[in-house]
Amino acid sequence: MSGKERSGRFEDLGQALQRVIKGRLGKRLASYDACKVWPKAAGPGIAKRCVALGIKSGILYVAVPTNVWLTELSALKEKLIQSINEKLGKEVVKGIRFQIGVPKTRSFKRKR
């Protein structure tokens, strides 16, 4: 423990929880939010057919139905990243990886 933590003063429980949430859970919550804002960032036409699956290490994984969609969205990748990050108010998404196939569920499972 640092000297600051051992000051002998008590911290308000609400403040302590906020500090923990921001520190440890903040990145995870921001990642979840990236998937949540995908439909608005991508627009209704894209979001109707392409689903944000999850995010890992700043890379958003998105399921697309065909190679044509993969090619089209690859050309829009930088614009989509910028739109998502603007809606979140911070840089959460550093890249997007498109994969062909529509998932049965929206949860992301890494292929082995």
Amino acid 13: pLDDT? 85
Query: How many CB atoms sit inside 10 A of residue 4's CB?
Result: 7
Q: Is residue 82 situated within a structural domain?
A: yes
> CA angle, corner 48, sides to 103 and 86, nearest 5?
100
Q: Is residue 23 situated within a structural domain?
A: no
Amino acid 107: pLDDT? 47
Q: Is residue 66 situated within a structural domain?
A: yes
Amino acid 112: pLDDT? 47
User: Whole-model pTM?
Assistant: 0.70
Supply the range of the domain harboring residue 74: 33-100
Q: Is residue 50 situated within a structural domain?
A: yes
Q: Is residue 3 situated within a structural domain?
A: no
Q: Is residue 76 situated within a structural domain?
A: yes
Amino acid 24: pLDDT? 65
Domain containing residue 75: CATH number: 3.30.300.180
Amino acid 6: pLDDT? 55
Which ranges in the chain belong to alpha helices (H)? 13-20, 26-42, 44-47, 67-75, 77-88
Q: How many domains does the chain have?
A: 1
Query: How many CB atoms sit inside 10 A of residue 52's CB?
Result: 23
Q: Is residue 92 situated within a structural domain?
A: yes
Amino acid 80: pLDDT? 97
Query: How many CB atoms sit inside 10 A of residue 107's CB?
Result: 9
Q: Is residue 54 situated within a structural domain?
A: yes
Amino acid 104: pLDDT? 59
- pLDDT means per 10 residues in the chain (112 residues)? 58 79 67 89 94 91 95 96 94 95 57 48
Amino acid 14: pLDDT? 83
